[in-house]
Every structure is written in C-alpha cells, then in structure tokens.
Structure 1
Amino acid sequence: MNQTFTIKQKTKQIFVLLIPILITQLGMFSMVFFNTIMSGKYNSSDLAGVAIGSSIWSPIFTGISSILLAVSPIAAQRFGEKKSHEVTSIVKHGVYLSVFITILLIILGFFVLDPILDSMNLTARVQDTAFDYLVGLSFGILPLFIFNVLRSFIYALGKTRVIMIIMIISLPLNFLLNYVLIFGNWGFPELGGAGAGYATAITDWAFMAMTIFIVKKQEPFSSYPIFENMKEFSWEKCKEILKIGVPMGLSTFFETSMFAVVTILLSKFNVTTIAAYQSALNIVSFLYMIPISISMVQTVLVGFEVGAKRYKDAKQYSWLGVYLAILIAILTGLLVVAFRYQVAGFYSNETAVINLTANFLIFALFFQIADAIQATAQAALRGYKDVNIAFIMTLIAYWLICLPVGYLLANFTSLGARGYWIGLTVGLLAAGVALSLRLIYIQKRKFVGAAIKEVV
C-alpha cells in the first residue's frame, strides 16, 4: 500500500486491492458450490446431508473467522504507524488464538453435534452424511483458521494478489479431491457426501502450507518473523485481538444465523416457495461477494491511514467504499432484474419455481443496495477499530427489525413469502443508516480529538 493524494489515486488503489480479493471470495464460494453439486450428483440424500452440515458449519465458521480477521485492522494500523514488531506480535498471537479456538470448537462439537442432528428429525441416511461431512471438515479447522490469520496479515500489507494465486492453485485440487473421495475413483474410498468434507479439509491444509511458505520466504512478509520464537506469548495481545474480534464475530454470526432462521420460518410454505427462495438467496449470496470484498479493502485502507494519522484520507477511503458498493449493487441488481427469468432458469426447470424466483429477484434489487450500505459502513468502522456500538446496532437491526417485520408481513398480509424479503431489506437498510451515522460521528471525533482511541 502507498500513500495517496487524490481521489483518482485512492480509487485506483481500491481496485488494485479489490480485484484479487473478489476473485479469492468467488473461489471460496466455488468450493461450497463444488461440495453441493458433486454430492448431489452422487445421491440426493448425500446432497441433503451436505446441505444440513453446511448450514450448521457456516454461521460458526463465518463468526469465528471474523474474530480472527480482527488481525487485519489491528495490523494495518500498526503498519501505518511503522511498528513492524507490533505487526509481527499481533499476527503471532492470532495464530495462537487459532489453536485455542480450534481445540475449544472440537471439544464443543464432540458433545453437541449429535444432539443438534437428533433434534432435526432427519432420515438416518441424511443424518449420517451430515455427521460424517462435519467430521471430515473438522480435520481442516486448524489450518483454515491459521490461513485466515495469515490472509489478514497479507491483506494488511496490501498484497492481495498472493492469496488470489493460492486460491486459483487450490481450486483444481479441491475439485479433484471431491471427484475421487465422493465417488471413490482411482482406487480411493467411496465416501459419498462425507468425502466433500475430507476434500475441503485437505484443501485447507494446502492453503495453510502454501501461505506459510510464502510468509517465511517472500518479501515483504519474511521481514516479519512470525514463526520465530513461538514461545513469546502474551494474554494482553490475545485480548487486544478478541476485544475487536469478538464483536465482529458476533455481528457476522447473527447476520448469518438470521438468514438460517428465515429459511426455517419459510418451511411452512409449499415446496415451490422454498425452492424459489433458496434459488434467489443463492443468487444474492453470489453477488454479495462484491460488497464483502470491498469491505475487506476498506478495513485495511482505513486502518492503514488511521495508523498513519492521516484522518482525511481515512475518511475519503471510507466513503469511496460505500459509494462504490452502492453503485455496483445498483448496476448488478438492475442486470439481474432485467434477466431475472433467464437467471432463475439456471436453478430450476419448473415454470412455477422460475416465475416465483424471478419475482423474488425484484425485491432482491433493493435488498442488495441496503446490504451494500451496511456491509461497507461497518467495514469502515472496523478500520477505526470501532466495533462494539456497531455490533449492538446490527444486532438490533437483524433480530429486532428484520425478523419481526418479515414475519408480520409474511404471515399477516397478502405478501406471503415476499414479506421476508421486505423485512430483510428494511432491517439491513436500518443497519446501514445507523452504521453510516456512527461512521460520521467517529470521523468527526477523530478530527476534533486528533487522537486514536479504542471505543469501548
């Protein structure tokens, strides 16, 4: 990353960092896609088992990953302050936390996984596949978390292409492992849907191995001796990461689980409605990779400028990210609406499902815009390390506005399932407005106080 002086230079720097991150996010999305599609080709029960397993793992993974991604804004600020030793220490303690969290998660899973699956009233085949899939995934938890810490470090230095290259190399490996482990090809055991879990775990180890090699051998990363003197340990450093990361993780967890709850609430509707909702949500989730990628860039750039005490630049990066996300959301949303029937046709051959999916996608246009605002405003706040108030705002928006409004509109008006889309949009818009106001307040306080403080 370099210091910039004009809006044009800042916009260019955003895109230089953004494109590799976006490709990386799409690659991660593709891995889940491979798991689902290839399990479905094997057996419909295995597809259901993998889907159930993914729905359990996804909120946990995104929540914990967000805790560890706190390394990014902290390291970016230290980098801006030119405190190399502090950057090294933060990343090293992020690795320690990965180990601790992995141990706790595996112990917790040992006791609660069976009761959770038993409570879902699944068929024996689906339940067994979900269990085996999650067991397979568990072998990759540690390398995945360490990879996310190192990814945050690499992003904090502005070298986003490195992770993109690792992802591009790993995708064919993941596809190949799915092919041999799900179907039992080339002499490998035929594991069905569970094979997708083991394939993902092996890929996670490959992610970590390549990333560690680059961090140790390639400049500028090798100048930060992260894996030397691993006996150096401080609870204070861990607490610094957790202080920022826990609110980030909880906010992400509650957002992800909110969609899971909506899916459950929709189960009262007919199969056509459920299929159409899932199809539309999949399309929206794919497009969400754009604002989430912009938000990662924002957190790094804002943190870097705040660390260097260039508050005007931090403010400009904050709002450039918000405006860019809104603009792209409008453009992609209009394209989806214009070709909604064709897009819906990728997910189903049934006319009723296609028509209803196309109808949902009209609501999804406004949903995307609201989501883009809240994601990027929140990311800018993370760059300032302001996370606690933001977490409360999002919690209220997701659980006290999104769900109640959606439930009331879906069950007490003629809107039906469309009501949930409106509820989600209203709640996300409320979060976006509240977070934007908080961002304005923080930026004014930074200018007036001329000091960096952590908000408690």
Structure 2
Amino acid sequence: MKESVTKREKIIYFSSILFPILVTQLGLFSMNFFDTTMSGRVHRDDLAGVAIGSSLWVPVYTGLSGILLSITPIVAQLIGARKNKDVPYMVIQGLYVSIVISLFIVLIGVFTLNPILTNMGLEENVIRIAKGYLIALSFGIIPLFIYSVLRCFIDALGYTRVTMFITLTSLPINFLLNYIFIFGKFGVPQLGGIGAGVASSLTYWCIALITILITIKQQPFREYKIFHTFFSISFKAWGEILKIGVPIGLSIFFETSIFAAVTLLMSQYNTVTIASHQAAINFASFLYMIPLSISMALTIVVGHEVGAKRINEAKQYSYLGIGMAVVLSTLSAALIYFFRPEVASIYTSDSAVLRLTQDFLIYAIFFQLSDAIAAPIQGALRGYKDVNVTFVMALVSYWVIGLPVGYLLASYTPLDAFGYWIGLISGLAAGAVGLSSRLAIIQKRKEKEFALYLNT
C-alpha cells in the first residue's frame, strides 16, 4: 500500500480505493434492484413475492457473508506488516469456511423455509413466488461465498478496480438473464419473480469463475499462488477468522435483519403497502451503498496503517472517510426529496403503489444521515480489528431500541406502517452515537499502545 503524507495525497489515494468499491457495491446491489424492478413489471404479486424472498435472503446472506469480511483486515494487516507468505494460507482457510457456511445456509433453508412462509399470512400466489425465488437463488450460494472471500483478498491488496471490473462484467449478464427468465424470452417460459432467482444464481456462478481465473492468471495476485497449495484444514486459523468475522457478521445481520423483520411485519397490511414499502426500502438501500463503500475502503486503509504502526495516519483516514460520507449522504437525501415521483416510477406503474411509495421515501431521507456516520465508523473499527463492542451496539440500537419503538408506533398510533420506519430511524441514530464514542476510545487506546511500542 502506498504511504500518503499530506492530506491531499490521502484524499487522492483513499478516493482511488473507494471509487471502485462503490461501483462494485452498486453493481452487486443492482442485481437485487433488477430483480425487484423487473419483477414488478410482471405483476404486483411478483414484486411482493420477491420483496418477501429478498427480506428473508438478504439478512442471512449479508450476516453470514459478513463473517468472511474478516479476511480483509486480516490480509490488510499481514500486508502492512510485510508477512506476505502468510496470505495464501489464510485465504484458503477462508474459502473452506465459506463452503461450510454455504452448506449450513442450504440445510437450514430446507427445514425452515416452508414453516416461515406459511405462517406469514400471505396470499397464496405471493408465497409461491417467494419460495420459488429463494429455491432458485440457493443454487448460487456456494459460488457467491467463494467470490466473497476472493474479493476480500483482492480488495485487501488495494486493487479494488479489479473487483469493479468483475462486477461490471457480470451486470449485463444478470440483466440479460433476468430479461430471459422473468419475461420468458427466447423460448424460455415466463417465470416472473421466480425467474429473478434463477438469473441471480447463474450470475453468481459467472462472478465466481471470473474471479478465480483472475486470481490464478493476473498479477499481482498470481504471485501469492492462492490455489497452488490446498492447505489442510486448520481450526486455529478458522478460529482467527471467526473471532473477527462472527461479530462483524452478527453486527451486519442485526442491521439488515431489522429491515427484513419490518418487511415481514408489514405482511399484516395489504399487498399495496408491502410493495410500496419494499420499493422505498430498496431505493434507500441502493443509496446506502455510498456509506457502505466508504466503510469497506476504511477497513482496507486503516488496516494497512495499523499493521504498519502508522497510528496517526489511521486516525486521519477515519475522519476523512466519515466527512466524505456525510457530504455524499446529504446529497443523497436531497435527491430523494426532490425526485420522489421519478424514483417511485422506477419500481411500478400501479397508481396506488406509486403514491404510497412516495410517502415512504420521505422517511428514507432520515436514514441517510445516520448511515453516513455509523457505516464509516464500523469500517474503521474493523480496520483496527475491534468488532465485539460494535456487535453489541448493533444488537441494542436495532433490536432493543429500533424495533420496539417501531412496533409501538405502528400498533398504538395513527402512524400505522410509517411507525416502523420511525423506529428504524431511531435505531440507526442510536447506533451512530454509540459507534462514535467507541471509535474515540479505540483511537486513544491505540495511541497509548504505539507510545509504549516506541519506548521499548
């Protein structure tokens, strides 16, 4: 990693890491975006079915794949400490863990999918679509998780443009497959929302294969000889990955699952409300890719600086990332406010869904500012390998504060479905405050540790 001295150099270098990550995240999210918007063009039952399916899948995927994000700070600190020979060993162990996690997801789904869907009180056709969507998606879980590990390895080296290239290559593939399977083109039967799951699963295989080939063939990745030696399973290495990864995964799960829980609680309302809520949440999540990308970039640069014992530079990068997120998220909030009708029309042409989606988007504005603080701080803390307190804060802010507040407002005030959104905003704000305090504590602790290191 390049050492930056001046503030201008840090901004330029950080931006060079950040921009490809942002494009990659937007690209990956676009797959879910395409699933939702294109399914909604078939029928609102397809939109609702994919919404329910996504609400079950996204927290499971992001939470468990979040465990694999530990590869980024582990590799980043190894590179920063010039321990390059240890990198392939840890990446291979990460791949082993990814396969075990994938099989675990499939096994759990076999036993829980039917009971969950049948007890939600949904319309029969919506249940059929949601179930079919998830079953189709399950065939792409293993390659998706393998890709996640290899992406963490590539990103940790600072070559985020490579993962951007992979994602941009896969987008037209995903769009074309969605077009074929959702609408029934080129002799394929029209599958509606279920076809979105088929398309995404096939796309995951394409992404994994492209990434494996790049890791083997292209410099500087082939120098690490990732696939030259398949090391035996090391539970000690798994322990290191899981020690950092499980709190990261749980933290992400608590955040994403509360959105899923709200969508599931929305099942007590009609299909119009479910579809409108999902459209608004989907767009808010799309914009969340900005602070999330900054978070991932911070994990890389802070991890490198901490590994190289450049504690002051790690601190400067942290505040640089937070400031950038606040500015960009403010612009996102303005975009939502002024272009609500245009945003809603992306998802549906149904007049009832169109009107209600615009109302939900007003509340989405407040997500942006809380996320602008919380997400980058989480990324910086991961760079420091500080993850346990973050996990506890996520649990408290989202599930002890956010969901109960939302339930009370939705159940006992005239706000109805909007009450859940106010609860979500409350949880996000509480998380932002707690994480800010934690970052200040960790930075002071690292400064003291570095001072002792210099004196010994």
TM-score clears 0.5 = yes
**Equivalent residue runs for 1:283-362 within 5 Å:** 283-347=283-347, 357-362=357-362
- Residue 206 of structure 2 aligns with an amino acid whose one-letter code is A
Counterpart of 2:242 in structure 1 is 242
> SS in structure 2 opposite 1:186?
coil
Change (3 A) 1:266 1:186: closer
- The answer for the alignment partner of 2:260 in structure 1 is 260
Tell me the alpha carbon deviations over residues 422-449 of structure 1, each in whole angstroms, 9 at most, x when there is no partner: 3222221111111111111111011102
Query: Tell me, what secondary structure is at the counterpart of 1:281?
Result: helix
Paired position in structure 2 for 1:281: 281
1:440-451 map, 5 Å: 440-450=440-450
Distance 2:203 2:335 in 1: 34
Question: What's the counterpart of residue 164 of structure 1?
Answer: 164
Residue 167 of structure 1 deviates from its aligned partner by 1.2
Tell whether 2:148 aligns with 1:148. yes
**How many residues align structurally?**
453
Is the Cα contact below 8 Å between 2:360 and 2:418 reproduced in 1? yes
Partner of 1:384: 384
Deviates more, 1:363-372 or 1:79-88: 363-372
| 1:160 to partner: Cα distance | 0.7
User: 1:413: Cα distance to partner?
Assistant: 4.1
1:372 alignment counterpart: 372
Aligned to 1:57: 57
Q: Which residue identity does 1:30 align to in structure 2?
A: S
The Cα offsets for residues 265-291 of structure 1, whole Å up to 9 and x where unpaired, read as: 444556665554333322211111100
Is the Cα–Cα contact under 8 Å of residues 180 and 188 in structure 1 kept in the other structure?
yes
Give the 3-state SS of the residue equivalent to 1:216 in structure 2: helix
After superposition, the C-alpha distances for 1:222-252 in whole angstroms (9 at most, x for unaligned) are: 1111112203331111111111111111111
Residue 137, structure 1, aligned to residue 137, structure 2: yes
Distance 1:93 1:286, change over 3 A: same
Deviations 1:280-316 (A, max 9, x none): 3222111111001111101111111111110001111
SS of the residue 2:186 aligns to: helix
C-alpha separation in 1, matches of 2:13 and 2:95:
29
> What amino acid is aligned across from residue 294 of structure 1 in structure 2?
I
Q: Offset of 1:124 from its aligned partner?
A: 4.5
* Partner Cα distance (1:311, 1:84) in 2: 21
Kindly provide the amino acid, as one letter, of the partner of residue 432 in structure 1.
A
Matched, 1:34 2:34: yes
* Distance in 1 between residues matched to 2:78 and 2:285, nearest whole Å: 33
Q: Aligned in 2, Cα 1:102/1:363: closer, same or farther, shift over 3 Å?
A: closer
Residues 354 and 57 (structure 1 numbering): CA distance in 2 closer, same or farther, change over 3 Å? Answer: closer
Residue 151 and residue 452 in structure 1: after superposition, are their counterparts in 2 closer, same or farther (change >3 A)? farther
Flag the 1:9–1:207 CA change in 2: closer, same or farther, 3 A: same
Q: CA deviation at 1:67?
A: 0.7
Question: TM-score scaled by structure 1?
Answer: 0.92
Q: Equivalents in 2 of 1:116, 1:268: separation in Å?
A: 14
Indicate conservation of the 8 Å contact 2:56/2:260, yes or no: no
Choose 129-138 or 251-260, whichever is displaced more.
129-138
Question: CA 1:195–1:369 in 2, change beyond 3 Å: closer, same or farther?
Answer: same
Distance in 1, matches of 2:30 and 2:175, equals: 10
- Taking every aligned residue pair, what percent have the same amino acid on both sides? 54
Alignment of 1:167-182 (within 5 A): 167-182=167-182
State the distance in 2 between where 1:240 and 1:213 align: 27
SS of the equivalent of 1:223 reads: helix
Whether the aligned pair in 1 keeps the contact of 2:55 and 2:264 (CA below 8 Å) is: no
Q: Distance in 1 between matches of 2:41 and 2:149?
A: 34
The residue identity in structure 2 corresponding to 1:8 is R
Structure 1 unmatched ranges of 5 or more? none
Map 1:205-220 to 2 at 5 A: 205-220=205-220
Displacement of 1:412 in angstroms is: 3.8
Which stretch shifts more, 363-372 or 33-42? 33-42
- What residue in structure 2 maps to residue 225 of structure 1? 225
Q: Please identify, of 176-185 and 197-206, the stretch whose mean Cα deviation from structure 2 is larger.
A: 176-185
CA RMSD of aligned residues (A): 2.4
Q: For the Cα contact (< 8 Å) 1:404–1:423, is it kept in 2?
A: yes
Partners of 2:229 and 2:213 lie apart in 1 by 17
* Paired letter, 2:144: L
Partner of 2:78: 78
Range with bigger deviation, 48-57 or 185-194:
185-194
Q: Distance in 2 between matches of 1:10 and 1:47?
A: 43
Query: Partner residue of 1:66?
Result: 66
- 2-structure distance, mates of 1:109, 1:353: 31
TM-score w.r.t. the length of structure 2 is 0.92
The one-letter amino acid of 1:261's match is A
Query: Once structures 1 and 2 are overlaid, which stretch shifts more, 12-21 or 270-279?
Result: 270-279
**Any conservation in 2 of the 1:367–1:421 contact (CA below 8 Å)?**
no
| Post-superposition offset of 1:342 | 4.1
The amino acid that maps onto 1:371 is D
Structure 1 CA distance, aligned partners of 2:265 and 2:235?
42
Aligned-partner Cα distance in 2 for 1:202–1:269 = 33
Give the aligned partner of residue 19 of structure 2.
19
Amino acid at match of 2:385: K
Secondary structure class of the residue paired with 2:3 = coil
Taking the aligned partners of 1:114 and 1:269, their CA distance within structure 2 comes to 21
